[in-house]
Amino acid sequence: MTDTNLRPGGIIPVDAFEHASPKDLEWLTSSTLVVVVMGASGDLAKKKTYPSLLNLYDDNLLPQNTMIIGYARSKLTNDDLRDRLRPFLLKTSHSEVVVERFLQRCVYQGGKSYGDLDAFEEMKGRMEEFEAKHSAESSHANRLYYFAIPPNVFADTGLAIKEKGMQDDAKGWTRLIVEKPFGRDLESFEVLNKTLSQHFNEEMMFRIDHYLGKEMVQNLTVLRFSNIWFERVWNSENIKCVMLTFKEPFGTDGRGGYFDKYGIIRDILQNHLLQVLTLLAMEAPHVLEGPKAGKAIRDAKVAVLNAIEPIRPEDVVLGQYENYADDPTIENKDTNTPTFATIRLFVNTPRWHGVPFIMKAGKALNERKAEMRVQFKDAPAADYLFQGTDTPRNELVMRMQPHEAMYMKTNVKSPGFTAKPVQSELEVNYDTRFFAHQKEANPDAYTRLILDVLQGKQAAFVRDDELRRAWEIFTPILHSIEKDGLQPIIYPQGGRGPPESDKFIADNAGYVRNEDYVFYEGSVARKSEGTNKQPSKSEPKKGYTDDELCDVGLFGLAVMGQNFALNMAEHGFKVCVGNRSPAKVELTVKRAADEGNLPIVGATNPEDLVARLSKPRKIVILVQAGKPVDDMVSTLARYMQPGDVIIDGGNEWFPNSIRRAEFLEPKGIHFIGMGISGGEEGARKGPSLMPGGPKDAYDLVAPILTKCAAEVGDYTCAGYLGPVGAGNYVKMVHNGIEYGDMQLIAEVYDVLKNVLNMTNEEMADLFDEWNKTELESYLIEITAKILRKKDDLTDEGYVVDKILDKTGMKGTGKWTIQEAAEKGVAAPTMASALDVRMISARKEERVEAEKVLAGPSNTGIEANKEQVLDDLKAALYASKVCSYAQGLSLIRAASEEHKWNVDLSECARLWTGGCIIRAKVLDRIQKAFKENPTLPNLLVDKDFSNEINERSGAWRRVVALCITSGTGCPSLCNSLSYFDTYRRGRLTANLTQAQRDYFGGHTYERTDQEGRFHAQWTDAHKDIGDASKRTAGENLQTLSSFN
């Protein structure tokens, strides 16, 4: 592991150890180092820990005799680990040669768990062997453990390290870097802290908060205590308020399941911003450098925390961005987890008496920013001196991200003939001031913090008493949110957050926002009259040449939108993209460059998007259904012209598309409602597209859609379905069929797992085998993959077994069942699937019900496994056909009512590729309706009826097995009931209708005579007159397709 040629001359950066003595550097110059990354296969390790170690390696800030062991529960070799790390390391600025040299130092140690003593014993042997090999040239052998693992495995890991991984104090040190979260509240912190402190003392533990490694945060002590003017004004006599802000322009983006457990307060305020606040407000420690600095600085920080009272509800404004709960990973759709919070608190010391400190953080806002902002009081007598002219307050702004900078908003004379004060700034931008003419870059937070650990510097790490007091401050408000149901204010994405926050800050902190001031990189611009605003780089160009114009626009850049834009660009169309969050636009343009210099350009706003398109303009919108679509259509329509086309690609309720088309029709703008199926992967590689709208509008966009859709044989899965509304309806029913198909597979899985006791691997093999038969489909294919997927998070067991048994839904399944009821079409397979999802959501109720509701007493059912497997295959196929039959019958009924003239064979064709319900059987469904367009129901097609009849015995045996074993099978059972009910020429509805006539006089028809009749069932029943007039509102028609 020795490498004597890390960089030319083996030069160590001179500023890394400016005041270090030779003894202080023994850990680097004459010691071995073993770094153990616990959780080496996780994202944190790959994206942060290993790249930071690479930075230190390339700067010669690791001992020459260094070994890095990655520990996880995955079964990997050394080369497997290196292959996983390589893509992340190559994204850094380091050369490929340096990356490969670094990777040779990285080895892998697997274990059954994070407390696997056998694995730790093996790792101990490897460490001791490495240390012995270099003992002659090393005075010490040090060990560093990096906990890139969840807190629930801290205890087992700590015990294993204590028993097998500690270095003898005489030989060197043992240190631990521990990542947050440090608990959820005061109680959980105490449990977690006790777990670690029973094995390790405080000097060994380094609790990392990466904000304490940021340049601007570390600059605070220098700024405050090395400038004579600073401390003179740093008090309540001069400062009006202090504001700490964190803003992100994006939401949870698929991480909602994790975020919803913590919320913005735990994620940002309780740790990052509170740590910054303590450095801003603390008194001068007695020393800032040297071995005693760590204790001195942290003592000063704790003194600040002790002067802050617990937060009360009246000191808080909470927010949640619109459609936050639509994130599919969020299970509780009624969640009150805040994505935005503004909190006011006071530091009750003489220096800060009466000064409000505001901490504000939020997601899905208008920009990415983290900053410290100190607003000073009004200049004395300024109103009199400048004859009532507004004199803005001074502000010191320290920006942590992006592009670290400091600037003081200072009043200067307005240019020209007047002496009016106008605000400018004194600015230091770190990138331009210190790094513009150098190859070096500012080290990132993780790199500098790991280096601090190696040196034993603890000032930038969080001590246990700091955390304890932080939780004492925040736990009451967190419990108010979670136990008392404190509700957040809903705010639109892409803005400043809830307006109530700005009002709260103005009313309760006295902060005055200078609306006439805008800060630009390297320049200042004012909105006041008489000045010329400098154009921002993001302002739209007013005109574009023909060569600059794009073929199509797309607004809405969540992952689906990004992927569909890249898909269109990959097929040769020049695409202009827009989004409320500029960061998403930049990300999409960057992805286009990274994925082959695809022709995608970004627009700054909707007007710019329209201006960049060739005529007639074609714009796809992929935003949240409902009001966001209305807002987007209304906005775009202001800039579009007659003949232009708007295509809504979201899951939308079809009457909304009809309404929007009617709104646009007087303007001459065409509207297409288009269903898109295939998920994120389909959007990128080829989805199924189901458009409905004016035929001439479809003809304008057909060249784009047909090229970008999935390909199956000689055709693509895009085609015209009918007038506006038809495409949304077909997509809605597609999703209903999808509900049914997924539930059928889940019920078969239940039998395989809980009746036949098959393992995940055995079930995966079975689904793989079935996917080569008439059951071949996308859902069968991915089911096999899901069952095989090992759990990367814990490296134990399978992912599917760790997933909570609560199924989410977005509404299209519910719409389908509502429509089936409205249209008088039976859809029991899909309705049962919806019922199960609703029951699954009542997890707590089910857990309690399990304690009191009994299943069959005979649980030891003996079954011929091979027979059951054959029967399950047959039952699944028959039920799947029923699901398609019900869905297509519903589309036919709607088409007849709305006069859409939807071709059912075309629906089946569009579903053969790209979409979620794509399946081999759709080829034959397409053929059936192609040969007989008036086929009343798929079940009566000659080929399908023969297949279902052949499988009916197996189907019945499966349902019987489920019933006798107490295994719920509502969709399998109701599919069979649908078949049995539909195949009978005479049902028991005669009795039901007789009952209706008995109690309500609803009349009935007879089998032997024409007309409507009413029976005088008892002496109390009187003559109701003309029976034919008693049927108003009744749904008694015979569908024309059955005539």
**Residues sharing a CB contact under 8 Å with residue 860, sequence separation 6 or more, in sequence order:** none
Rg of the Cα atoms in the chain: 34
Q: Is 772 in the active site?
A: no
Question: Which residue carries 């820990």 as its tokens?
Answer: 49
What is the secondary structure of 460-516 as a DSSP string?
Answer: TSB-HHHHHHHHHHHHHHHHHHHTS-PPPEEE-TTBSS-HHHHHHHHHHH-----TT
Q: Is 372 helix (H, G, I), strand (E, B) or coil?
A: strand
Question: How long a stretch of residues is the chain?
Answer: 1043
Q: 738, 747, 819, 947: which one is catalytic?
A: 738
Find, among 458, 536, 414, the residue nearest to 178 by Cα. Answer: 458
Q: Are 639 and 664 in contact (CB under 8 A)?
A: no
304-343 CB burial, b ≥16 within 10 A, e <16:
bbebbeebeeebbbbbbbbbbbbbeebbeeebbbbbbbbb
Q: Which two tokens stand for residue 163?
A: 């028993």
Other CB atoms within a 10 A radius of the CB of residue 984 amount to 9
β-bridge partners, 1012:
1005
Q: How far is CA 334 from the centre of its chain?
A: 17
Q: Are 308 and 347 in contact (CB under 8 A)?
A: yes
Q: Is 1021 helix (H, G, I), strand (E, B) or coil?
A: coil
Q: Is 738 in the active site?
A: yes
163-200 CB burial, b ≥16 within 10 A, e <16:
ebbbbeeebbbbbbbbbbbbbbbbeebeebbebbeebb
Q: Are 39 and 757 in contact (CB under 8 A)?
A: no
CA distance 554 to 708: 14
- Consecutive H or E run containing 144: strand 140-147
Q: Are 906 and 912 in contact (CB under 8 A)?
A: no
Q: Which two tokens stand for residue 745?
A: 């597979």
CA distance 362 to 384: 40
Q: Which two tokens stand for residue 754?
A: 């809980």
CA distance 674 to 737: 18
CA distance 1043 to 1032: 23
CA distance 537 to 441: 25
Find, among 728, 649, 713, the residue nearest to 682 by Cα. Answer: 649
Q: Is 22 helix (H, G, I), strand (E, B) or coil?
A: coil
Question: What is Dmax (Cα atoms) for the chain?
Answer: 114
Q: Is 208 helix (H, G, I), strand (E, B) or coil?
A: coil
Q: 731, 753, 823, 873: which one is catalytic?
A: 731
Which residues belong to the active site?
731, 738
